[in-house]
Structure 1
């Protein structure tokens, strides 16, 4: 959920995650500047993935399916704190999170915006029922990886660009841990 009392800023970085400064979130997306981001993937005890459909009022990628939650760390906020904050703000739940990898990507989105992110990916496990924020989430579900992989292949237009870039890599990491 956006903090309506102040302008939301992102942390601008170089490819080595050295901080270059701060910028208003929309300006950074309009200019396509590299900034920090987080993506969280939650799994239940059956091994199903918790995914959600972005709310229709989101400023980009609205109505698309994606990982459990994602966002940007605030200036002076750690990546893990941002991941925990957004998991509560978007899905109304908590889990013990662990960072599994980071990657950089740059993709043009709708509304003349560009995602250029150094994205830190976190996983967690929970059987807690989500209590999603309607400003962030229009729908959610737990889904088996085989079914998810098939749907992404058959309906890629229904998923966010960052999700399509990382979901297989997340699955590989989960399989190594089993």
Structure 2
């Protein structure tokens, strides 16, 4: 057998063993939500009753391309794909959460979610709302949702520990019924916090070390959300490599436009 063929076979064997090893590690590292997801009552449009309530209760902030507040619309109105493919542009946030070792929390959205059910994503992605006749501050909204989705106590999330990295304007048609068109405020938070996920929001989570992240992604049992994939491709490595000096890299006044890719 030629040396070249030997090398190719050796490479294929190593790759197969590596994939097998990662499948084993994946099972050990992933943690189910605090309670197993239970079948939820389904109402109109085939939407889970709890998620349906939020669709019509939550009032989101409609903005222009410079992130200026224009008015309000329900969560449903902000995510409904029009006949022309258009979706209302609204304000959102995405939190990337790291423990003190620098491992990143990766979560899987529950099957009950209206947009991108069963997709993997960063720690928390949601919207500031219009509350008490005013627009909610983004960090206040992030703390509220981290408490709701991941069960993190509010007093464990000092607002000063959040770093507002930048804003990203993106559009994704989702499943053609509900999609996204957002100016996404990207927030980083680092700290050791207690996590107790809400199973209606999150089905599983894990903390992934930076050195293992690229090898871990192909083992996931579903796709990753377009906004997470976009940030992963364009900025995540730079920011993750520099958790110790994030404020030097932050660009809160900028609004980037990145291409989305619905791939692993």
TM over 0.5: yes
After superposition, the Cα gap between the structure-2 partners of 1:176 and 1:125, relative to the gap in structure 1 and judged at 3 Å, is closer
As a proportion of its length, which structure holds more helix? 2
User: Is there any run of 5+ residues in structure 1 with no aligned partner, and where?
Assistant: none
2:214 is aligned, of 129, 138, 149, to 149
As a proportion of its length, which structure holds more strand? 1
The residue correspondences of 1:14-163 to structure 2 (distance < 5 A) are 14-30=64-80, 31=82, 32-75=87-130, 76-93=135-152, 94-95=156-157, 96-110=161-175, 112-152=177-217, 158-163=223-228
1:173 is aligned, of 235, 239, 246, to 239
Q: Over the residues paired in the alignment, what is the CA RMSD in angstroms?
A: 2.3
Shift of 1:105: 0.3
User: Is there any run of 5+ residues in structure 2 with no aligned partner, and where?
Assistant: 1-49, 245-264
| Per-residue Cα deviation, 1:22-43 (whole angstroms, up to 9, x for no partner) | 0111112114111000100110
| Per-residue Cα deviation, 1:46-96 (whole angstroms, up to 9, x for no partner) | 211011100110001111110101101001201111111111111111433
The residue correspondences of 1:6-17 to structure 2 (distance < 5 A) are 7-17=57-67
**TM-score where L is the length of structure 2:** 0.62
What is the DSSP-based 3-state SS (H/G/I as helix, E as strand, rest coil) of the residue aligned with 1:158? coil
After superposition, the Cα gap between the structure-2 partners of 1:8 and 1:89, relative to the gap in structure 1 and judged at 3 Å, is same
Residues 118 and 222 in structure 2, CA contact (< 8 A), matched pair in contact too: no
- Alignment partners' CA distance in 2, 1:45 and 1:51: 15
Shift of 1:101: 1.0
Residues 120 and 222 in structure 2, CA contact (< 8 A), matched pair in contact too: no
What is the DSSP-based 3-state SS (H/G/I as helix, E as strand, rest coil) of the residue aligned with 1:128? coil
Shift of 1:176: 3.3
Residues 65 and 158 in structure 1, CA contact (< 8 A), matched pair in contact too: yes
Shift of 1:111: 5.2
- Alignment partners' CA distance in 1, 2:66 and 2:151: 32
Shift of 1:129: 3.0
